[in-house]
A and B are shown apart, each in its own frame.
Chain A
């Protein structure tokens, strides 16, 4: 709730990890520092004397949503989408198969993924999916080390990427070029990535003009960029860059994964078997249906990037397992007055900064309306964190504060400075707690 819209509201933020910022710290790619500038605005809000941060508290385990609802007039669930959609195909558990999310968590220093140690010994990597996360992992796998060295990528993953054998990344989609989910900024970045060249099959991009006529501007511009890259002769500079490139990436369309094939040892991934598909229908809602033809591709590194999924946080909170969201009307959780939701758990796991921002404004608006209409009764006084502190302590939970985070932040920035990075993240929660004297 932006402080400017209500003069008295006090907001406490609870977070599972000791440190704040969630997806911005652990999801945004290390080579996108400009996106992380939003942290400055968040920090300003956190410094408001009507806002407090309590980290290291797992809602649904350390404190139940029901307890929060008793301690506050309004509770907003904004815990995102911590799970993956799964492929559900044989071989998914072979070594060398990861979700893109765990790889992202690993290079971004998410505590639960810090020991991933992915096997990067395969020359060809396959990414299943054609969204921005797919492009993020492809870009990190292919970026020249000198670019990554200046980012806040973890020390550990930088060392692993230095030993990586990956030279080629294939991004595979069930549908066609008109259905890719990534956005144009990320595609342009990929096309311009130093030391790499695009592998695009001209046949995939011919004759798309008609379908584009009535497409909305974003789809049109994105497709035109891919068409230009695939079909037009590059200028001299670009042609030179492509010729000199040592790494490459490509988009493969109309393939649906059937099975991950084991390598000779039976333990590691050796390749992937895919159904060739064709489209039924057109545009955004077109469906991929198998043609009956099957194709195999050799690869020892397979990353699935087919989307995220929210999980229920607490049995008392309604949850729609099919859509993977908390059922709500404009952010008001159905059947639970005073309970709200925002972000991916409200809307599903898609969108960029502005989507999530507008979405949170919408939920805040709903709360303000409910205050005005009296739906949110302020007559009973609520104890807030004060009434939960001793309960948490009795359960052995010692929340971290924003001041604690600022101590960790200072350590990270100082460690980073020594090696020419914006920060070197502390990846072990125990170490975080030690740094703040917990």
Chain B
């Protein structure tokens, strides 16, 4: 039926568009689409430029992530903490002691955590998804509620 054909056509068209956009992005050597999962689970998509840091992307594209990058990328806080998928994490440039020092103070630290200000956008990152650590006050809220019920 018509709607089915329409959907199928639409899918082919979409796939074609994604493919060509991807190729165009790679050929022009500049634009890379990346996704962020915000604290509330919302998915934010941004078109990043190669060479920008993840923090630059959030700032330049006005992504609405509360308190992200408070020290403006100077390695003096851990508010731009991002969690990478394992495969992507392995490919990102190595981490310095100074970044590790700040990550030590991050909430919700994982084995694939990095600071967004220290990770530069590369072509291979096309389509990757990074996670903003879940709102930590939620975790603490549960803890405090637990504490209170004990008293």
Contacts and interface: CB of A to CB of B under 8 A. Distances in A.
Contacts of B136: 358
A354 B137 contact: no
A40 B72 contact: yes
A292 B75 CA distance: 45
Nearest to B109: A217
A354 B77 contact: yes
Given A2-B66, A329-B148, A354 B106 contact: yes
Contact of A358 (B64, B74, B107, B144): B107
Contacts of A358: 67, 107, 135-137, 140
B109 A188 contact: no
Contacts of B97: 188
A362 interface: yes
A315 interface: no
Contacts of B106: 354
Contacts of B78: 354
A394 interface: no
A218 B104 contact: yes
Contact of A35 (B76, B101, B140): B76
A37 interface: yes
B99 to A, nearest CB: 10
Given A221-B104, A353-B79, A361-B67, 6 more contacts: A37-B74, A188-B101, A221-B101, A330-B141, A354-B107, A362-B141
Contacts of B109: 217
Given A353-B77, A357-B70, A361-B137, A218 B144 contact: no
Contacts of A357: 67, 70, 79
Nearest to B75: A34
Nearest to A32: B76
Nearest to B105: A352
A331 B70 CA distance: 22
A352 B72 contact: no
Interface string A337-356: 00000000000000011100
B100 A362 contact: no
Given A35-B76, A358-B107, A185 B101 contact: yes
A183 B100 CA distance: 12
A213 B122 CA distance: 37
B71 interface: yes
B119 interface: no
Interface string B76-91: 1111000000000000
Q: Binding site of A, secondary structure by majority: helix, strand, loop or mixed?
A: helix
Nearest to A218: B104
B44 interface: no
Contacts of B72: 34, 37, 40
Interface string A182-208: 011100100000000000000000000
Interface of A: 2, 4, 32, 34-35, 37-38, 40-41, 183-185, 188, 217-218, 221-222, 329-330, 352-354, 357-359, 361-362, 365
Contact of A359 (B64, B70, B75, B137): B137
Contacts of B148: 329
Contacts of A362: 137, 140-141
Q: Binding site of B, secondary structure by majority: helix, strand, loop or mixed?
A: loop
Interface of B: 64, 66-67, 70-72, 74-79, 97-98, 100-102, 104-107, 109, 135-137, 140-141, 144, 148
A330 B135 CA distance: 14
Contact of B74 (A34, A188, A222, A329): A34
* Nearest 4 CB-CB pairings of A with B: A34-B74, A362-B137, A218-B104, A34-B76
B79 A361 contact: no
A221 B136 CA distance: 23
Contact of B70 (A32, A38, A188): A38
B71 A35 contact: yes
A32 B148 CA distance: 38
A362 B105 CA distance: 18
Contacts of A217: 104, 109
A222 B97 CA distance: 11
A329 B76 contact: no
A354 B74 CA distance: 14
Contact of B135 (A221, A222, A353, A361): A361
Nearest to B137: A362
Contacts of A34: 71-72, 74-76
Of A2, A40, A41, A354, the most chain B CB neighbours within 10 A belong to: A354
28 contacts: A34-B74, A37-B71, A37-B74, A38-B71, A41-B70, A183-B101, A183-B104, A183-B105, A184-B104, A185-B76, A188-B98, A218-B105, A221-B101, A221-B104, A329-B148, A352-B105, A353-B76, A354-B67, A354-B105, A354-B106, A357-B67, A357-B70, A358-B67, A358-B107, A358-B137, A361-B66, A361-B135, A362-B137
A37 B100 contact: no
B77 A352 contact: yes
Nearest to A361: B137
